[in-house]
Structure 1
Amino acid sequence: MKTNKRQTFYTLRLAIILLLGALWGSLAFGFTPTTQQIEMFKSLSPEQQRALASQYGVDLNQMGLASGPAQPNLQPNQTVTRTTAQDNTTLEDAANKTIQTDKLNESASDTTTKGQLKQFGYDLFSGTPDAFTPASDIPPPDSYVLGPGDNLVVQLYGKENNSYSLTINREGQIQLPEIGPITLAGISFTDARALLADTVQQQMIGVKASVTMGTLRSIRIFVLGEALQPGSYTVSSLSTMTNALFASGGISKIGSLRNIQLKRQGKLITSLDLYDLLLNGDTSKDARLLPGDVIFIPPIGATAGVSGEVKRPAIYELKKEKYAAEVIELAGSYTPTAYPAVTRIERIDAKGNRTLVDADLTKQSGKNTKVQDADMIKVFSVLETMEDVVMLEGHVERPGGFAWHPGMRVTDIIHSAEELLPFPDLNVALIERETQPTREKTVLTFSLGEALKNPASAENIELKTRDKLYVFNFETPRSDQLKDLVARLKVQANKQLRKQTVNVSGYVRFPGEYPLNPSMSAKDMVMLAGGLTQNAYGLRGEITRITYSETEEQSIQHINVDLANSGSTALKEEDQLHIKRLPNWMDQETVTIEGEVKFPGQYKIKRGETLAQVIERAGGLNEWAYPEAAIFTREELRALEAQRLKELRDKLEGEIAAANLETQTEHEKIAVNEAQDLLESLNAVRPLGRMVIDLKAAINDAAQPIQLKDGDTLTIPRKKQAVTVVGEVQFPTSHIFESNADSEKYIEMSGGITQKADKKRIYVVKANGRVFLPEHSGWFKANNYKVEPGDTVVVPLDADRIKPLTLWTSISQVFYQIALGAAAVASF
């Protein structure tokens, strides 16, 4: 029999050696151990695994063969003999699934929907085990029982002075020199100290003894059951049940916190309820351990979850708790915002179905509701809305809530106009009111100024609980201030109750959609919209109304409203009130006259006023004026010109991009580069909005009047003495006017044309903006034009050089725009 066991042992050892060799080889040469070898190795205890791995130089963590989870940090004299990892979050998962799939549509502010419920108490073991190891340098308690391994320090003094460090041996004795063995095992440290002192004093005349505790012995205990790492542990002799639990990594989430058993020689010594420690700080049941003790952790018992408005929402293990009120006490009782009168218990009935039980925990019957395993108790919060309050919003110094009382009126909240912010609208204020029990919204409007002036008047409306009072000003748009109320009125509308709003448009201060008071007139709605603007037609307005017949056929009516009458037409739901503008109203328009007039500046104009009339109001032209170079600009022309320039830029960019995608000759590449230069020049051009006029004719000839518009500008420069040459010439510059010189003469004075010039299309931009071509031009003959002071001679780029990019018409337009802008700038 012994031979068979010995053969089995050597066979197993040989297999393990081969396995470790394979493991080592896998690191060095890529060998892989078999599954059977790995399973055989895993069957060994952790100590045997580590010892063999250390002997053969194999890193078990690197090979993925480390047994169980990471070991806790133990004392030097502690040894883990067996470890297994157990963890189960079934209770948490089930509880959180219940919360997430709740079909009761509670408020999003409910605390149970914000977080996840956890099992109470298991976080206690999340710390480092060393933090919970009993200290070894403190005096042992008087009740400490000595045993083999304990060390005593005996100091002899008097006739002899010696010090001895004595350890209790296996027989429970110490060997005290000159006296002999003394049995100390099994007695308390206090009794042992007294025994030694008496023995020394009796047997050694003139000598006394002082006894202190040295190092403590270690004891081996067992932590079994649902521990995180069950096994055998060597711990300090001062250790208690909780110290052993921490050394083993704690309790798994399927283990009980409330029935931890201490067994000694097969008998139950005591039970530890960790809730006493966690909730009350009571350690009276935390018994001290003796060698061979067994701490057994049974599976968790019945549980119940508590969520919502309690201080410690969690899943609790039940022990003696049978009623809902007792479970609430485990959760730390209610928060200040709890409403225990509405409490629901979700449970699984005998048929396996989920059901709900309502419980009023303010009554004894509700408190005595029996709790079953897996119940989920949900405590709701008080309502977010306030009762018996009146809210004040808008243009006030102190907005917010006010306590409501019967008979309360507007002036009880707003005592005087001094409590309003500057520039309030005292003509109108609005009250938002709830109709009970449906809480549908209705509105009332009143004159706030009249209520403050005469509190006894009907305008000082009596308030009801939950009313909301709005005060307005003349700066903030009221449609924005009332948009939530209008949205609520839209939501509560239905087939029988049409939307209680009115749309106000036209010449009121704040057009928009407003809530409708059933007794509101058109004039009241105008006041709610901020009143009429200065250009509004205050005598009459128009209501567009949609009505339905008994057969539900729709018809539209247009109703004239007498706004001057205080009892004007009453409004109905979904009406559209339009306020017209004053007949022949014209916003104030101005024009600017600059330059050489007697009184330059801005002038207000009336409709149909002409340029000649405004120049006359400005005192006429002075003696230095040069009307032939006058620049007249108009805003609407500036906008059109900007749009045109943008179109030309976009077109030219597209043509350049398309040309760059194609294979190009050297000539075409040069053309593209020149086109890009042209594009940069075009980007620098700013629209002027110039309109070419003959100022002399506009002043002297009544048959050619120029009617002015708002924003027009006339600039009259001083007399010009220069002619400018721009474009493809050697030196673009200006020259003193010579009466007998033509365009060719001025071009010659600028060094002549360049190779890129188009000499057939040279043209002249007159000082007033007109364009003419010299007689040699190929376009047409100009018999009556000559170059005069202020004119600009333009030598354009030869368009044929960039024909591969665009049509001549588009390029000529670009040239014209650039030349026109340059001429206008040069004329200032």
Structure 2
Amino acid sequence: MRKIITVVILFLALLQTNTLLAQDLLKSSDLSTVKVDNLSDAEIANIKAQLQSNNTTIEQVEPMALAKGMSASEFAKLKLRLAANAAASGVKNDSESSTQKYGRTQEKIVNTKVKDSLNSLVFGSELFDNPTLNFEPDLKLATPMNYILGPGDELQVSVYGVQEYNANIPVSVEGKVSIQYVGQIAVAGMSIEAATQKIKAAMARVYSTIGSGQSQVSVSLGRIRTIRVTIIGSKQPGNYSISSLATVYNALFLGGGPGKNESYRNIELIRNNKIYTKVDIYKFLVNGDQSENVGLKDNDVIRIPAYEQRVKVEGQVKRPGIFEMKAGETFSDLLSFASGFNEFAYTASVNVLQKTGKEFKVQDIKASEFNSYKPQSGDVFRVTKILNRFENRIKIEGAVFRPDMYSFYEGMRISDLIAKAEGLKEDAYSKRARIIRLKSDLTKEIVNVNLEKALEGDVEADIPLLKEDIVTVYSILDFVEEYKITIDGEIKKPGVYDYQEGLTLNDLLVQAGGLTGSASKRVEVARMIMSEEIDDANPNKAELFNIEITPDNNEQAVNFSLYPFDVVNIRKMAVYEKPEMVSISGAVHYAGKYVLASKKAKVYDIVKRAGGLTSGANIEGVKIKRPIQAKQIEAVESIDLNLGTKDSIQNKLEKKLKEDLKYAIIPVDWKSIVKDENSNTNVTLFPGDEIEVAAFNEGVKVTGNVLLTSEIPYDKGKGFRYYLDAVGGVDAKGWKKKAYIIYPNGKADVASSFLFFRNYPKVTPGSQIIVPEKPEVKKMSTGEFVSIAGVLASLAGVIIAILR
């Protein structure tokens, strides 16, 4: 009985422990018997709610749970259960995840940025127009020790060690925090560091282990209060509720920055009705200095007065725009605001357009005056480009080793410039060089120099140079004509080649890749005729040389010398034809490819070499498929049918030949050939021809615009119409009058008419009957019919009038 009671008590204790864990994870004193697997999903959700209400995470309470006896394995299970519960309940928003991760919250402040297009040129305006730029305080940072507490803040007070305590305590409107068993402690107006010491001292009177060091006290900022500031003179003036950690720049950003005519450099922070400090945004923009970006307090006023001086900088500076100037600042300060001159700026002086009481005036500021000139309100500074010219440039080009631009100095001569260019090249023409010189009126003149004498020390020839001179040293190769030579015919690489002195026929043959196998021994060289006088008695335009060579040897015994512009033709052998083939397929004994052994090989010869027709061959189904040659298509293209450019008949014909028809069909009457080999149907074969011998087929195929495409068994006594009727006749689009038949040998025939009689072609076994489609006929519209009727009526009226 005692054992039963003991088990019941242990079970109730375990159940109570899990219940306590579910009720308050942070306040349970003993977690050693906790079994996470026994907790329900509702209890896990309760633990999660406890953590959220205390602004803590499961990682933050891990040391406390382990100190209260909870095993590491059970705590790991608890973390997994909580993570699974979070995934099931959905993804938190950014502010919630930030609260869980960092344990600190702040009211979200939203401000819509408005682009100030009227003030876009003012330096600094872009700082407050950019929605991606923000001066919002970072809640991830550690609690600042100099932070001054006030009503609305919330403190996280924790005692850990032998004794445990954890609570989030708001600062009341009276500026006090109320701690359980300790009482109220005034903290308003104190820094977080001073408040920590005061809270620790007060809690030490209740928690004895704090004084002995067995327990520790931690005070941090949980929720940051919101303060109200007023902004005057901004683009969006008004009262703003912002973080107590916010600074002047944060408030200015929320207010959209200074307004259209307000200052960027004399912004006043008014606290307790006195100017606490002045803010110059240019310090931050130019130097990144945030020393004036002070923190704000409740009821602070930011006043942005109107600007006193603004000037404009245009032209060749790195950051042109409108700038605000303070009293005593010089043009050098303005130049630093504009980030200085760019690389193309004329820096010797700057032009400034000034405004007087009555009119404008222009003033030039020299470089020596940059540090003393004080810009006036309304000044417009114009920084121009440097001139596109050189003060000491000279150039040499042509047959020198280093043609380039060089620096010029007074007294420089032609020999000095050539020495700078490391001398003349071997092909330099030393008798004459050219100098293109710019005269004082900017027109150009040419000065000729004898380089040979100048380099030998002749003072008169070695003339002085002037800046911007362009010296050209000629090359003797510039005066040499570019000679070519042509080779064609039975050579591997025919074409046009450069001619060099001493070139021979052997050299050219090797350069052109050597002779082909079909080259004959005959070579013809055509050479142009050169003469100072016209010889009317000589009709020849070129001189011809006939040379015999050994085709199988590129190195000829007689090495013929070539001249410029010679044309060499390598002739082909009189008889040099590679074996060419035709093919035969179908009902023959030995189908395949056969070489044309005779120039006049005919169909009967190839069929005979193929072993003749088989017993199953259709003697009326012999035909030849002949590939359509490119020259046949060219012949069609060259014919003008005078159909007009918009007519597509010829275009369709050319397209059909190129893309659709690859072969021309030649019908063969085998019976006539067997009777007489000299029959005109025993045609001579061409290379590439294909002879097809069809197998005997007793069926007749009917296709096209018929009700049923089918193959009907051949009936000797039946005619053309029988086979059309056998497939159900023609369909709605069928053109029966134009039906035609294709015989097995490729020959075709069409129905014909005589008076009221229609003759249909004879049908043979293996034939194919085709019914084409009727062409579309455009019906006459009502309007067209009325027009024609009107014309006929008018004609009738004219005829009647004539007859009267």
- TM-score norm. by structure 1 comes to 0.45
Larger radius of gyration: 2
- TM-score norm. by structure 2 comes to 0.46
By relative contact order (CA 8 Å, sep 6+), the higher-ranking structure is 1
